[in-house]
Structure 1
Amino acid sequence: MTGPEEDATPAESTPTAAPRRSGLKNPQAAVRGLGAGTLVLEVIVLLLTIAPLTVIAGDRKGPAITAVLVATVLAIVLAGSMKRDWAWTAGAVLQGLLLAGGFLHWTLAAVGVIFGLTWAYAMHVRRSILG
């Protein structure tokens, strides 16, 4: 009589090269939700920056608030476009634009850094789930 260890064939004991599954029922939808959720949080933070900018931005108040409103509209549009692959790249560009907005006021650069790092993490999760 042989034991269970001796019955294993070499094919059963070697790891297969099958792609790693994430365990999610619909990984595409999960990743889209992550991207859209990140952008919605960014929209909320951007809208909350308008009130402090009216007080501390001084003579650059108008352009800074305009930049915030443009970035907010872009983030809303991108949150609704997460089914398309280009939306992920456009989200990264949006973070870069916010970072460049630091020339108008440092708070825009701060939001750009925070959400740039958040977006980079979301893209990392997307790559690890979808491959």
Structure 2
Amino acid sequence: MGTRPAANPARRLFATVLACEAIVVALAIPVAVSVLDVDGATAGGVCGGLAVLCLVLAGLLRFPWAITAGTVLQVLIIATGFIVPAMFFLGVVFGALWGTAIWLGHKVGGAQPR
């Protein structure tokens, strides 16, 4: 039996941000349809697609490219503010959480074991 390499300790934080973000983005669908009169197919396609993408990406965090893809996803979620204006603010909040997770991941990854 071989030993598995140590997992990135920040991976759980990245997954938590993405899972919470998926919930918030999915909840933007009824707001867009009911309050802002956005077409249901448009709101469902954009916000629903991004919510599913968040969950899929949370499962793919074992790959190094997933952090970059998550960063691109943060920009796309901020852009949903053009459909639901509150998403500009919420997207920036989640982007800040994502940036904090990257910072903490580098800080923990550079720590020397005792």
TM over 0.5: yes
Q: 1:115 to 1:89 in 2, by over 3 A?
A: same
Residue deviations 1:84-106 (CA, integer Å, cap 9, x gap): 11111111100101112222231
Q: Which runs of 4+ in 1 moved over 3 A?
A: 59-62
Match of 2:67 among 65, 70, 88: 88
Q: Which residue of 2 aligns with 1:56?
A: 35
Name the % identity. Answer: 33
Count residues with an aligned counterpart: 106
Structure ID, larger Rg: 1
Match of 1:116 among 95, 105, 110: 95
Residue deviations 1:89-131 (CA, integer Å, cap 9, x gap): 1111001011122222313323311111111111111111113
Contact (CA 8 Å) 2:74, 2:95: kept in 1 or not? yes
User: Which runs of no fewer than 5 residues in structure 2 stay unpaired?
Assistant: none
Distance of 1:65 and 1:98 partners within structure 2: 14
Q: 1:104 to 1:52 in 2, by over 3 A?
A: closer
Q: How does 1:24-103 map to 2 (within 5 A)?
A: 28-103=7-82
Aligned-residue RMSD, C-alpha = 2.0
Contact (CA 8 Å) 1:38, 1:119: kept in 2 or not? yes
Instruction: Using structure 1 for the length normalisation, give the TM-score.
Output: 0.71
Contact (CA 8 Å) 1:46, 1:68: kept in 2 or not? yes
The alpha carbon displacement at 1:67 in A equals 1.2
Contact (CA 8 Å) 2:80, 2:88: kept in 1 or not? yes
Instruction: Using structure 2 for the length normalisation, give the TM-score.
Output: 0.80
The alpha carbon displacement at 1:27 in A equals 6.5
Q: 1:47 to 1:37 in 2, by over 3 A?
A: same
